[in-house]
């Protein structure tokens, strides 16, 4: 198993190029199940989750020709409708094939994803919405078995909670349904917006894109003529590298980014005393005279993302004063706290709220990555900790960060990948 070894880095300078967004690419790849033509996707991040989903599609009978940052997908001859446990267990986002397979074939079986390190993460809202669209759903032997013999029917769906992959699943299902489906309380994340835009460009009329009310005019079951597209930049990868500049309190520029998707994150950097300069595709963070403590509440887009919580928690250990971070999305997304405490961070956890007293002198340690963003928080801490930090179980990190150690080495961070 690989691990990352870091020594404290006093200097960092240069530019880091941001990859395509994993969380945009995943639903977009799933949506090719709705297509009758070959689809070319570019700016694809080269990360494990993407390969997992492409393997799932290949198991269904799709032909996937993968380049380093691109893929050509042909789903015209799908033969299977079952997403098996062996794949789904490694990636919860496999649930994204449920809506499109059901819409295309009128039946499917998808292994129930179950919980994961950050919380229970049920998919009840996906299932309830599909039932409203006329699907008969049963849970058998750990699988979701869904049937809609006559095809899915449009209806009015009001999500009890905002769900990102839930919204994506129902948008894809509704694309081939009979009639116009309305989704109220839809997710407004940029990744959902791109899915809607690409389906729109591919002939499915969708109103309200980027708002909480989506109206999807289903085409009654025709496979779509899908456009080729380039995946939007990864806003969470961007935010993570800006945290690298911030934690060392040095200037750092990220390129190939979309500053508009990072509003709440950039505001937090500014509140903490850092300078932020943007162009259309770059963001530069400049040092703070004094790193100020912060108050963060994670919420749905456009508010501060839960996927940036762990990285800001690591950063808050270097602020002068007491920061408070409240996690509202996932009940168990503070697993990085105990590892940061082992490095010397002064953090108190009370339910969903972490209180971080800065500034702490961190010391290097062997630490365990527990989920994707917890991993990057530990890397950030390792960059400033005195001595050697070894971050273990980085298969979590490899799910969503492309060549993290290479990107950080190129700007001067002392980090290497080693084998246990
Ligand atoms: C692949 C992908 O895009 N993953 C992102 C997606 O995950 P994901 O789509 O799984 O997260 P959701 O937006 O669905 O979850 C939001 C909240 O709703 C709850 N919920 C969700 C669905 C459901 O049927 N029932 C239910 O109770 C969840 O447990 C959670 O508390 O959005 C999360 C929230 O921004 C991000 O952290 C993940 O990085
Ligand atoms: C939690 C994440 O991903 P997933 O939903 O695939 O677990 C993430 O990208 O931070």
Q: What is the tens place of the pLDDT at every residue in 265-309?
A: 999 999 999 999 999 999 999 999 999 999 999 999 999 999 999
Give yes or no for residue 126 CB within 6 A of ligand 1. yes
Strand-strand pairing, 206-207 and 180-184: unpaired
Probe residue for ligand 1, chosen from 99, 159, 161 as the CB with the greatest number of ligand atoms within 8 Å? 161
CB 28 within 8 A of CB 20: no
260 token code pair: 């508009």
Axis crossing angle, helix 309-316 with helix 335-342, rounded to the nearest 10:
30
Residue 9: its pLDDT value, please?
Answer: 86
Give yes or no for residue 374 CB within 6 A of ligand 2. no
- Domain ranges in the chain with CATH number 3.65.10.10: 24-230, 233-386
Give yes or no for residue 239 CB within 6 A of ligand 2. no
Q: Which protein residue has the closest C-alpha to ligand 2 atom 6? A: 93
> 3-class SS at 357?
strand
Q: Categorize the per-residue pLDDT at 393 as very low, low, confident or very high, splitting at 50, 70 and 90.
A: very high
Q: Categorize the per-residue pLDDT at 331 as very low, low, confident or very high, splitting at 50, 70 and 90.
A: confident
What's the CA-to-centroid distance between 304 and ligand 2, angstroms? Answer: 15
DSSP state of 12: -
Burial 168-190 (b: 16+ CB within 10 A, else e): bbbbbbbbbbbebbbbebbbbbb
Sign of CA dihedral 110, 162, 264, 339: negative
CATH number of 24-230: 3.65.10.10
Residue 333: its pLDDT value, please?
Answer: 95
Q: Which protein residue has the closest C-alpha to ligand 1 atom 14? A: 163
Catalytic pick among 116, 155, 196, 243: 116
Give yes or no for residue 92 CB within 6 A of ligand 2. yes
Helix (H) or strand (E) holding 60, with range, is helix 48-60
Cβ-proximal residues to 222 (8 Å cutoff; 6+ apart), any chain? 176
125 marked as part of a ligand binding site:
yes
Give yes or no for residue 125 CB within 6 A of ligand 1. yes
Residue 295: its pLDDT value, please?
Answer: 98
Q: Rounded to whole angstroms, how far apart are CA atoms 419 and 108?
A: 40
> 3-class SS at 90?
coil
Q: Categorize the per-residue pLDDT at 13 as very low, low, confident or very high, splitting at 50, 70 and 90.
A: confident
367, 369, 403, 402: which is closest to 385 by C-alpha? 367
Q: Is the pLDDT of residue 236 over 80?
A: yes
What is the number of residues in the chain? 420
The pLDDT tens digits of the residues spanning 154-166 come to 999 999 999 999 9
What's the CA-to-centroid distance between 63 and ligand 1, angstroms? Answer: 29
Residue 117: its pLDDT value, please?
Answer: 85
Give yes or no for residue 220 CB within 6 A of ligand 1. no
Mean pLDDT throughout 387-416?
97
Residue 119: its pLDDT value, please?
Answer: 87
Give yes or no for residue 307 CB within 6 A of ligand 2. yes
Helix (H) or strand (E) holding 164, with range, is helix 164-175
Q: Which protein residue has the closest C-alpha to ligand 2 atom 5? A: 93
192, 234, 229, 230: which is closest to 210 by C-alpha? 192
The pLDDT tens digits of the residues spanning 168-186 come to 999 999 999 999 999 999 9
Q: Which protein residue has the closest C-alpha to ligand 2 atom 7? A: 92
Q: Categorize the per-residue pLDDT at 204 as very low, low, confident or very high, splitting at 50, 70 and 90.
A: very high
CATH fit for domain 233-386, picks 3.40.50.980, 3.40.50.620, 3.65.10.10, 3.90.1570.10: 3.65.10.10
The pLDDT tens digits of the residues spanning 258-267 come to 999 999 999 9
Q: Is the pLDDT of residue 114 over 80?
A: no
Helix (H) or strand (E) holding 339, with range, is helix 335-342
22 marked as part of a ligand binding site:
yes
116 is catalytic: yes
The pLDDT tens digits of the residues spanning 336-377 come to 999 999 999 999 999 999 999 999 999 999 999 999 999 999
**Whether pTM exceeds 0.95:** yes
Q: Categorize the per-residue pLDDT at 120 as very low, low, confident or very high, splitting at 50, 70 and 90.
A: confident
What's the CA-to-centroid distance between 212 and ligand 1, angstroms? Answer: 16
97, 83, 168: which is closest to 129 by C-alpha? 168
193 token code pair: 């917006």
Mean pLDDT throughout 80-94?
94
Q: Which protein residue has the closest C-alpha to ligand 1 atom 16? A: 163
Residue 112: its pLDDT value, please?
Answer: 93
Burial 196-233 (b: 16+ CB within 10 A, else e): bbbbbebebebebbeeeebbbbbbeeebbebbebebbb
Report yes or no for ipTM above 0.90.
yes
Residue 203: its pLDDT value, please?
Answer: 98
Give the rounded percent of residues in the chain with a pLDDT score beyond 90. 96
What's the CA-to-centroid distance between 162 and ligand 2, angstroms? Answer: 15
Give the rounded percent of residues in the chain with a pLDDT score beyond 70. 100
What's the CA-to-centroid distance between 331 and ligand 1, angstroms? Answer: 12
* Average per-residue pLDDT for the chain: 97
What's the CA-to-centroid distance between 59 and ligand 2, angstroms? Answer: 23
> 3-class SS at 279?
coil
Residue 257: its pLDDT value, please?
Answer: 98
Q: Categorize the per-residue pLDDT at 31 as very low, low, confident or very high, splitting at 50, 70 and 90.
A: very high
Give yes or no for residue 43 CB within 6 A of ligand 2. no
Axis crossing angle, helix 164-175 with helix 124-132, rounded to the nearest 10:
20
């Amino acid at each position: 198993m690989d691990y990352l070894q870091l020594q404290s880095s006093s200097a960092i300078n240069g530019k880091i190029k941001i990859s395509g967004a994993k969380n945009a690419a995943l639903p977009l790849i799933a949506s090719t199940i709705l297509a009758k033509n070959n689809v070319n996707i570019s700016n694809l991040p080269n990360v494990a989750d993407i390969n997992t989903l492409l393997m799932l599609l290949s198991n269904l009978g799709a032909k996937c020709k993968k380049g380093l940052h691109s893929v050509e997908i042909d789903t015209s001859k799908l033969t299977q409708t079952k997403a098996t446990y062996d794949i789904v267990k490694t990636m919860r986002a496999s649930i994204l094939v449920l809506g499109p397979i059901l819409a295309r074939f009128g039946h499917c079986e998808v292994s129930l994803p179950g919980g994961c390190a950050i919380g229970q993460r049920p998919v009840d809202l996906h299932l309830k919405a599909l039932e409203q669209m006329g699907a008969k759903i049963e849970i058998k032997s750990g699988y979701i078995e869904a049937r809609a013999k006559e095809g899915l029917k449009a209806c009015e769906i009001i999500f009890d909670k905002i769900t990102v992959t839930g919204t994506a699943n129902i948008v894809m299902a509704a694309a081939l349904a009979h009639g116009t489906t309305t989704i109220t309380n839809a997710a407004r994340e940029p990744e959902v917006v791109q899915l809607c835009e690409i389906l729109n460009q591919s002939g499915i009329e969708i109103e309200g894109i980027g708002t909480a009310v989506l109206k999807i005019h289903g085409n009654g079951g025709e496979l779509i003529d899908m456009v080729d597209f380039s995946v939007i930049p990864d806003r969470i990868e961007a935010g993570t590298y800006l945290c690298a500049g911030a934690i060392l309190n040095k200037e750092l520029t990220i390129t190939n980014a979309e500053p508009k998707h990072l509003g709440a994150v950039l505001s937090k950097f500014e509140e903490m005393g850092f300078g932020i300069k943007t162009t259309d595709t770059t963001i530069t963070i400049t040092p703070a005279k004094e790193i100020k403590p912060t108050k963060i509440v994670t919420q749905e887009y456009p508010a501060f993302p839960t996927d940036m919580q762990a990285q800001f928690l690591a950063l808050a250990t270097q602020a002068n004063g007491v920061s408070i971070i409240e996690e509202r999305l996932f009940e168990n997304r503070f697993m990085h706290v105990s590892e940061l405490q082992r490095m010397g961070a002064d953090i108190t956890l009370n339910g969903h709220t972490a209180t971080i007293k800065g500034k702490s002198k961190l010391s290097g340690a062997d630490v365990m990555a527990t989920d994707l963003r917890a991993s990057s928080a530990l890397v950030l801490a390792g960059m400033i900790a005195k001595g050697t930090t070894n971050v273990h179980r980085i298969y979590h990190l490899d799910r969503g960060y492309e060549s993290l150690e290479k990107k950080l080495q190129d700007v001067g961070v002392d980090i290497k990948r080693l084998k246990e």
